[in-house]
Structure 1
Amino acid sequence: MANRAAFLETEKGEFTVRDTEIGQPGDGEILIKVHAAAIQPADAKVAKMAVMKMEYPTTLGSPVAGTVEAIGTRTTGKVSIGDRVVCGTKIFVHKKAKYGGLQRYCVVDESEIVEIGTTPFPLAVTLASYTPPGALFGSSTLNLHRPSLPPSPLPPSEQGKKILIWGGSSAMGALSISYAKAAGYTVISTCSAHNIPLLQSLGADHVLDHSAADTVQRVRGLLPIAYWFDTVSLKPSISSILNILAPEGGEVIKAHVLLLLPLVMAGVKEEEFPEGVTAGMLRFSTHAEENREWNRWLLAKGGFLERGIKSGAIRGVPPTVVGGLERVGEGIEMVHKGVSGTKVVVEPWA
């Protein structure tokens, strides 16, 4: 049994596919035989812009879907050998190659593994991000009421409330729409014109072309909006939201906008926000003590994510499978240049 991986050899360097040792799972860890691995925007930023210090050569990629190959020490029995699972990786935590997803065998954290039943591996990796439910339902984030299966009505205090998800055709935005609709909220979202049918298929109640001249005014016509989530988090999207909340010569609407990036990376200064409007970058850890109950709800055996994937209740963008490990560089370039309405996926055994 041998491993094979796509290594980023040096900072901002080239990818090389070669044989390597199989990482051994330690305490609380599981070894996955990887059948599909996603390429995230964070992977592209590290590969092309070196936004994070890594231990080179490194292997990027997350999440992964495959079968349980080996079980480490001090595990809980959450999964068994051969189970079909999906899991985020720990490459940006430990920065060691054995934790990256773009290889045939990857070491992951048992606590974040989710069984997927018969769901195809490439589809599973489009559904497994913990960031949307963290952003929406974390007690320190937007703190929306959580969805359940079978669905249940929102409590009276939340009924009729709306959420704006700017950038709904990103993988993050699409999953956020799916989760918010599962919880029972009215969803307003934006995207390019050609992605409008996708967002409508996910259940968004109001879908607007982000580049249309009347979008800001149309969103204002849907006020009040209780929750604001900018999944793009760049200057154009932040400026559009500020134009909604604080129109020139008009009354300022008090709101807090959740972002995925710090304002400095978007080229926006805090003083550009009028009094009553605030923004903050999402900071959420699945292992934080304050999120322990959230972790059980989402990631426990039989939890919401497992049941949502198996039942089809959680939906997102479709996968674009670019090929095997030799296509990792191409996939990174695609994500770096920007993709919408899809998730770029590699199949390490292809």
Structure 2
Amino acid sequence: MKAIVQDRYGPPETLTLADVPTPRPNPDEVLIRVEAASLNAYDWHAMRGDPRMARLALGRVRPRARIRGRDVAGRVEDVGADVQGIRPGDAVFADLGDANGAFAEYVCVPEALVAPRPANLTPQQAAALPLAGVTALVGLRDAGRVEPGHRVLVNGASGGVGTLAVQLAKALGATVTGVCSTRNVDLVRSLGADHVVDYTRDDFTRAAGRHDVVFDLVGNRSLTALRRASTPTGTLVLSGGGVYRGGSLVGPVWLMARGRLLAPLVRQRVVVLSTTPGRDHLDTLRAHAEAGHLTPVIDRAYPLDEVPEAIRYLEGEHARAKVVITL
């Protein structure tokens, strides 16, 4: 089969299209014929092994996972002997986690990570959901504890996670303020945001309004500034680091560490977001999508052999919403 492989850390040029053996599922695995995959900031961090501390998990000398990509949508080609809830021919989607492998014609995935894909979404839209959608869902519902009537601010509202977070916050009954650049104001408003702040003109951390939940997906404001945007008893959810462009030992981890240190010292809740792949969250995303609450926005689509160019675009061109790979 064809796959995008990488044998050393580095820029997009280290990614090559190669012929590799088609995998065979273990007893608890599902073999998926890939129809679409999507890119996340995770992918270029994993590609470069950056920040360097991440190599403890990704592989100290070279990438432990040779085939890149973690978001996938496709159809089940085969199942292992112990798989019970999934059959060949099923349309599915999944987040592969650090195992990667989505940028290929076929991939084996543990059954526990695979869910039926939303019936009303295309494969490209479904592939855009797993990592970004779960981040938005966990950040708002679990970490933020968003309830009807809450005022929610999403910093980074036009990105892959942000475009989904705006829609999910509205589905949870919140009044939503999205923060983005001038060119994305109309996009964020079209997703249902009640208010849109153009950060090139206004500083949302110094505006008069306060929010019950501030969901930071960018990491371009200090904790002090973010707390100013929150009510005295509000919640600050940190999932930032989008402005980090590489080249350090710990990268955005330092901002998260400061958040953890601050949390017990202030009245506001400060939550450093973490997520793990799994079917339960994907089932919730599917329910929201099929109810019409959630539609992924696709910025650009690239064929498999242009994955290096797709990652180059994601790194340097401030992509709006999601970039996908089609097979």
Q: Deviations over 1:40-91 (max 9, x none)?
A: 10110111244333345611112111111111232232x321122221113x
1:327 aligns with 2:303: no
Instruction: Please report how far the alpha carbon of residue 173 of structure 1 lies from its aligned counterpart in structure 2 after TM superposition.
Output: 0.9
1:159/1:261 Cα in 2 relative to 1: closer, same or farther (>3 Å)?
closer
TM-score by length of 2: 0.81
Pick one of 278, 283, 289 that aligns with 2:274.
283
Question: Distance between the aligned counterparts of 1:237 and 1:212, measured in 2?
Answer: 18
1:81/1:272 Cα in 2 relative to 1: closer, same or farther (>3 Å)?
closer
1:317 aligns with 2:297: yes
1:87/1:286 Cα in 2 relative to 1: closer, same or farther (>3 Å)?
closer
1:71 equivalent in structure 2: 79
1:110 equivalent in structure 2: 111
Question: Distance between the aligned counterparts of 2:108 and 2:220, measured in 1?
Answer: 37
- Given that 1:10 and 1:57 are in contact with CA atoms closer than 8 Å, whether structure 2 keeps it comes out as no
Instruction: Please report how far the alpha carbon of residue 123 of structure 1 lies from its aligned counterpart in structure 2 after TM superposition.
Output: 1.7
Pick one of 91, 103, 109 that aligns with 1:84.
91
TM-score by length of 1: 0.77
Question: Distance between the aligned counterparts of 2:109 and 2:190, measured in 1?
Answer: 33
Instruction: Please report how far the alpha carbon of residue 210 of structure 1 lies from its aligned counterpart in structure 2 after TM superposition.
Output: 1.8
1:23/1:313 Cα in 2 relative to 1: closer, same or farther (>3 Å)?
same
- Given that 1:227 and 1:257 are in contact with CA atoms closer than 8 Å, whether structure 2 keeps it comes out as yes
- The more displaced of 191-200 and 336-345 is 336-345
The count of corresponding residues between Structure 1 and Structure 2 is: 302
2:251 equivalent in structure 1: 265
| Aligned residue runs from structure 1 range 18-167, under 5 A | 18-50=18-50, 51-52=54-55, 53-54=58-59, 55-56=63-64, 58-77=66-85, 79-90=86-97, 92=98, 95=99, 99-111=100-112, 112-117=114-119, 119-128=121-130, 129-138=133-142, 141-144=143-146, 158-167=147-156
Instruction: Please report how far the alpha carbon of residue 238 of structure 1 lies from its aligned counterpart in structure 2 after TM superposition.
Output: 4.7
Q: Secondary structure at the match of 2:83?
A: coil
The structure with more radius of gyration: 1
Instruction: Please report how far the alpha carbon of residue 107 of structure 1 lies from its aligned counterpart in structure 2 after TM superposition.
Output: 1.4
Instruction: Please report how far the alpha carbon of residue 244 of structure 1 lies from its aligned counterpart in structure 2 after TM superposition.
Output: 3.3
CA RMSD of the aligned region, Å?
2.8
- Given that 2:163 and 2:321 are in contact with CA atoms closer than 8 Å, whether structure 1 keeps it comes out as no
1:184 aligns with 2:184: no
Q: Secondary structure at the match of 2:192?
A: coil
Q: Secondary structure at the match of 1:236?
A: coil
Question: Distance between the aligned counterparts of 1:272 and 1:313, measured in 2?
Answer: 34
1:244 aligns with 2:248: no
Instruction: Please report how far the alpha carbon of residue 116 of structure 1 lies from its aligned counterpart in structure 2 after TM superposition.
Output: 2.9
Question: Distance between the aligned counterparts of 1:341 and 1:239, measured in 2?
Answer: 28
1:229 aligns with 2:215: yes
Q: Secondary structure at the match of 2:202?
A: coil
- Given that 1:9 and 1:58 are in contact with CA atoms closer than 8 Å, whether structure 2 keeps it comes out as yes
Question: Distance between the aligned counterparts of 1:284 and 1:63, measured in 2?
Answer: 14
1:121/1:189 Cα in 2 relative to 1: closer, same or farther (>3 Å)?
same
- Given that 2:227 and 2:236 are in contact with CA atoms closer than 8 Å, whether structure 1 keeps it comes out as no
Q: Secondary structure at the match of 1:197?
A: helix
Identity of paired residues, percent?
25
Q: Which amino acid aligns with 1:40?
A: N
Q: Which amino acid aligns with 1:108?
A: V
- Given that 2:2 and 2:17 are in contact with CA atoms closer than 8 Å, whether structure 1 keeps it comes out as yes
Q: Deviations over 1:186-213 (max 9, x none)?
A: 1111011111111111111111112223
Structure 2: which 5+ residue stretches go unaligned?
245-249
2:316 equivalent in structure 1: 337
Question: Distance between the aligned counterparts of 1:319 and 1:87, measured in 2?
Answer: 20
Question: Distance between the aligned counterparts of 1:133 and 1:9, measured in 2?
Answer: 34
Q: Which amino acid aligns with 2:81?
A: T
Structure 1: which 5+ residue stretches go unaligned?
145-157, 246-251, 288-294
